[in-house]
Amino acid sequence: MNPLFVHPSLSEERQNAKRLDTADPLARFRAEFFQGSGIYLDGNSLGLLSRKAEKAVERVLREWKELAIEGWLDAEQPWFFLAEKIGDMAAPLVGAKASELIASGTTTSNLHSLVSTLFPSDPKRSRIVSDSLNFSSDIYVLRDQLILRGLNPETELLRISSEDGYLIDEDRIMATLDETVALLVLSTVQYRSGQLFDIKAITEKAHAVGARVIWDASHSAGSVPHEFHEWGVDGAVFCGYKYLNGGPGSTGFLYIHEKHAALKPALSGWFGHRKDTQFQLNHDFAMAAGAGRFQISTPHVLSLIPLEASLALFAEADQHELRRKSLAMTELMMAMGDRYLAPHGLRIVTPRRADQRGGHVAFAGADAFALAQALRQQGIVPDFRPPNILRLAPTAFYNTYSDLVATISCILHILEDGDLERYQKPTDIP
């Protein structure tokens, strides 16, 4: 089946999608990305390569070839300051001051660094609050950090449970916060269902009882605009390879509010030292100003440079227009899902309200894994998350409304055909 196949039942939706695509103010950005011949709806796991990123990597390889070690200061964009520059470029996407954000490390290592630094010394505050649906790596961090303090994660890590396995009740988060809580650590968007938390309200509630707040924005940065500084968020982490299109294993980001400027990182490294005296290699750590002090090791230049190119595209686009299109695409997908897929047992578990929804739509169904495999066979790349979630993540930069009609058409055709048995066998990496 051609991935652009449109089911006869969706002819009206196809015409409407064509009109939306023609009027799309972001349409010009589509040509900036390499997309192949199919439809890519997995940008919330790995964003596509942009032409600018390809050229940027080629440039740095050339600089490495021609300048060798001199590239640290003599490259077109000196490598020595690259992490700070990319942090500056990403800051508007999360509402951070330039000094509050650094491109460094990975999401998990950055979370370790922030938790170990922001955990208060008050012995009355020994608990960390998170939730039962949070990403596994974040929970590993929280458990380890409690153990390192001689605390029992079985009693001191409070994970708010989900009644349906897809969503977390924000009121239950609020009710759990009290004077025994040291840190609240949540993801801005639930990676399975796409639920978007009220970051401002939850942060305010945590602060009202004296707790500090760290957000993992990996599933929202570049898709949902944030105002971390204005909301008083203490710390945040996010990756660079999803909506930011920084490439596989791309460098992560660490945000820390300027009100914590005096806090020394609990995990120090030589690249967090003041730039002007870093190469004196003094054993006394003189921390850099702002988030730059949280750098530990030498920056991974080849993992950083695609972000410079990708973030240049974000600077050209209006992030609020990106969000408007993202919401319009997920709304269209949900409307078609309700009409055509729900009768076949594929149920939407993503919140319907725009202010509670991230950038993807999650369909729950017994055949979710098989559907994901079948779609790949048809040239459409979705995502599967155990036990029964098919995730579709349209990206405002490079997906069209017509892509979505074609995808729902393909799913409907597969469900009507009913031949899913051959796709049911699990693989090690879905």
Which residues carry out catalysis? 135, 216, 241-242, 391
| DSSP code per residue over 300-340 | -HHHHHHHHHHHHHHHHS-HHHHHHHHHHHHHHHHHHIIII
Distance, in Å, from the CA atom of 259 to the CA atom of 255, rounded to the nearest integer, reads 12
User: Within 10 Å of residue 164's Cβ, how many Cβ atoms?
Assistant: 10
Q: Can you say how many angstroms the Cα of residue 113 is from the centroid of all Cα atoms in its chain?
A: 18
Strand partners, 131: 160
- Give the tokens for residue 194: 């796409």
In terms of Cα–Cα distance, which of 295, 349, 354, 340 is closest to 86?
295
For Cα atoms 324, 326, 330, give the angle at the middle one, nearest 5 degrees: 120
User: Within 10 Å of residue 52's Cβ, how many Cβ atoms?
Assistant: 18
- State the Rg of the chain over Cα: 22
Amino acid occupying residue 392? L
Q: What 3-state class would DSSP assign to 369?
A: helix
- Give the tokens for residue 6: 């449109």
Whether 214 and 234 have beta carbons less than 8 Å apart is answered as yes
Whether 91 and 102 have beta carbons less than 8 Å apart is answered as no
- Give the tokens for residue 196: 């978007």
In terms of Cα–Cα distance, which of 413, 422, 402 is closest to 39?
402
